[in-house]
Amino acid sequence: MATLAQAKTLGGIGSILVVLSFIPYAGPVLGIVGFVLTLIAVKYISDSIDDKSIFNNMIVAVILGIIGLAIGALVVFASIFRFIGLGFLSGEFGPSFQPSELPPGDIIGFIAALAIGLVLFWIFFLISAIFLRRSYNSIAARLNVGMFRTSCLDIPDRGSTCHHTGRIHTYFRS
């Protein structure tokens, strides 16, 4: 069975790797590895305090975030490709292209599709953030560490990222 000390180590390493995700080329891989290590740390915390709802809420948050990202990206890319079509391959948008020749209905449809995609993305991320907050509130209550309770207070500003890895890192430093 996992211990809190192991969770502390994995959470600290994971949060450092997530912070390094902005490094060019290797950063995205480091970010994903760090995120997975953070998930494992939450699993260890959940197991050590014998509360399965902590990890279940975290998994629901991750799944909803991935679904939201996929749906948002799909709708946005589909609307972009529907708008420009494959005409850019044949030169339709070449030097003689005049934006004023586009029908207004196409532009309105494009903007509406983009707005719908972004709203769907935001809704899924908001629901994901609610589950993430539930998970961290449970950790805060069970471990008696208030830092976890404040970890998702900036959700509306930052989607579902919640800076959870930074909060875990802050907890594990103390």
Structure pTM?
0.74
Higher pLDDT, 17 or 85: 17
Q: Answer whether residue 35 shows pLDDT above 80.
A: yes
What average pLDDT is seen over the chain? 79
Q: How many CA atoms lie within 13 A of 55 on its CB side?
A: 17
8: amino acid identity, one letter? K
Q: Answer whether residue 60 shows pLDDT above 50.
A: yes
Residue 38 burial class via C-beta count within 10 angstroms: exposed 0-12, middle 13-18, buried 19 and up:
buried
Average pLDDT over residues 46-65: 92
Q: Are 135 and 61 in contact (CB under 8 A)?
A: yes
Higher pLDDT, 97 or 86: 97
CA–CA separation, 75 vs 158, rounded Å? Answer: 21
Residue 89's pLDDT is 47
Average pLDDT over residues 98-111: 72
Q: Helix axis angle, 27-48 relative to 164-173, nearest 10°?
A: 60
Residue 99's pLDDT is 62
Residue 93's pLDDT is 56
Average pLDDT over residues 69-75: 89
